[in-house]
């Protein structure tokens, strides 16, 4: 009987340990570039802007597209900070406009815009698009974000 209780305790300990380890996220994040830019903004500058925005409270992820004088930034807000959506969006826009006053800045917290930019980014990685094609895509996404917002 005593040996059975010991085995049961060991079994529960193993189950709890396995459950704990399964719940942990061992995924290592690789730093991938979420920025599509043309000549006006160097890629390094876009990556630095992306890092600055990611450091802001409430911002989980960022996608940036730039062509000609348009700058589109899609942000993914953390679940906890969804109630401060407008405030976070305003802060990001203010910060970017301060750094790039000559650009037409659009910041969107819309998940659909984020996903569309992600799809375009994957296509962009396969083949380089012209500045006109990127500009056209930015215009369509800006229009989409204003229609739904």
- Asked whether residue 5 is domain-assigned, the answer is no
Distance from C-alpha of 143 to C-alpha of 108, rounded to nearest angstrom:
11
Q: What is the pTM of this model?
A: 0.68
We report the CATH number of the domain holding residue 80 as: 3.30.70.1350
- Asked whether residue 6 is domain-assigned, the answer is no
- Asked whether residue 141 is domain-assigned, the answer is yes
Distance from C-alpha of 90 to C-alpha of 73, rounded to nearest angstrom:
12
Record the tokens describing residue 68, joined without a space: 């000609």
- Asked whether residue 57 is domain-assigned, the answer is yes
- Asked whether residue 22 is domain-assigned, the answer is no
- Overall number of domains in the chain: 1
Q: Which residues contact 56 (CB under 8 A, 6 or more apart)?
A: 88, 91, 92, 95
Domain that holds residue 63: 35-148
- Asked whether residue 11 is domain-assigned, the answer is no
Instruction: Give yes or no for residue 76 having a pLDDT over 80.
Output: yes
Distance from C-alpha of 136 to C-alpha of 26, rounded to nearest angstrom:
39
- Asked whether residue 1 is domain-assigned, the answer is no
More confident position, 28 or 72: 72
Kindly state the DSSP code that residue 83 receives in the 8-state scheme.
Answer: G
What would the pLDDT profile of 105-135 be if each residue is shown by its tens digit?
Answer: 999 999 999 998 888 888 877 777 777 888 7
- Asked whether residue 9 is domain-assigned, the answer is no
């Amino acid at each position: 009987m005593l040996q059975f209780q010991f085995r049961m305790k060991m079994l529960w300990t193993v189950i709890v340990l396995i459950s704990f380890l399964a719940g942990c996220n061992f995924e290592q994040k690789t730093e991938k570039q979420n920025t599509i830019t043309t000549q006006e903004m160097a890629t390094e500058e876009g990556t630095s802007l992306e890092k600055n925005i990611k450091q802001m409270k409430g911002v989980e992820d960022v996608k940036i597209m730039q062509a000609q004088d348009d700058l589109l930034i899609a942000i993914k807000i953390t679940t906890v900070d969804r109630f401060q959506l407008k405030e976070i969006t305003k802060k990001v826009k203010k910060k970017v406009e301060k750094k790039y006053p000559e650009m037409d800045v659009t910041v969107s917290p819309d998940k659909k815009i984020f996903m569309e930019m992600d799809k375009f980014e994957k296509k962009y990685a396969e083949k380089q698009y012209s500045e006109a094609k990127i500009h056209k895509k930015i215009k369509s996404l800006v229009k989409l974000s204003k229609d739904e917002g």
